[in-house]
Amino acid sequence: ITLTVVSIIQVSGVLANVLAIITILHSPKVRLSGQGFVLTLCCSDLLFIGVAFPFIIVALSRGQWPFGDFLCEFQGFLMCWSVTASTGNMAAIACARFLSVVHPSIYKQLKTQHLLLMMLCAWIYSFVVILPSVTGWGKISFSAHVDACVIEWTYRWDYTYLVAFFVFVVPLSVIAFCYFKIFSVFWVSKSKLAQGQSGGIKFSSKERRLAVQLLILLGAFLVCWGPYFVLVVCFDRQRRVKRSVYDIVTNFLVVSSLADPCIYFFSNPIMRREAKQLLCGFIRRRER
């Protein structure tokens, strides 16, 4: 992907995530449709594509890092923090869906403050996981393979495996457990309703849509970020893989922050309709 195309994707990703955030904050209908948690995912994408990635575009255009060590650590930290926040927040969303389906009585007692606390905990969790990379245990440096400042995975393998464990293994295990329980309840309830037995729960289209939406988001995340982590942590410890392979893998990272808001809009007709109304209203005001 050329620098021009990367820049277009970056700007599109910023605009798409900003539109998603404004739509959620502006419309109570969208928040009631279960998209409140999406707000925090938009923030993590915007942290990467809007704050960290412009530095990467400049480094890509020059073939080197021109900003000095402090901004290198800053960009690398934000990039890694946004990734970890994404997996942490998806785990938090899965926990919320788990409570709403498996333990609805508990979920109904939760207030907005409790849900906000879950989101905050996901951000704090991700911050703590990445913090050692700038305090001496790990190290962030410029990598010519990806034209970005990233954690130097070969610097301390104990920290590398720790990051891989807390960024991927823990959140994905939480998500897998929650969704196993959710679909178990779905399946049991569907069987009982089909047989005319009591105790079956008829789930709304909203619950089904939210469950599928998170699975699609998780799939997109794994497709976009999984190859990079597998490559740098497992298969290329000596950095002997060709640059062309890294180019392909890192291109997926660029697309990730644009893919997420597209999933939000396409999987939720209410959010799509509210965003369209906001855009039409903005255009009409500009034409006056």
- Quote the pLDDT of residue 199: 58
- Quote the pLDDT of residue 130: 92
- Quote the pLDDT of residue 203: 64
Q: What homologous superfamily is domain 3-287 in, according to CATH?
A: Rhodopsin 7-helix transmembrane proteins (1.20.1070.10)
Q: How far is CA 207 from CA 67, 100, 125, 274, in A?
A: 47, 9, 27, 20
φ, ψ for residue 272, nearest 5 deg? -65, -45
Place of tokens 């739509």: 23
- Quote the pLDDT of residue 6: 82
- Quote the pLDDT of residue 115: 79
Tell me the pLDDT of the chain (288 aa) as tens digits: 567 888 888 889 899 999 989 888 887 777 665 667 788 888 998 998 888 888 988 888 888 899 999 999 999 999 889 989 988 888 888 888 888 888 888 878 877 778 788 888 999 999 999 999 888 888 898 988 778 888 887 778 788 888 888 888 898 899 889 888 888 888 877 777 666 666 556 666 677 777 787 788 888 888 888 888 777 767 666 667 777 787 788 778 878 888 888 888 888 888 888 888 888 887 888 776
For the chain, which residues make up each domain, given as ranges? 3-287
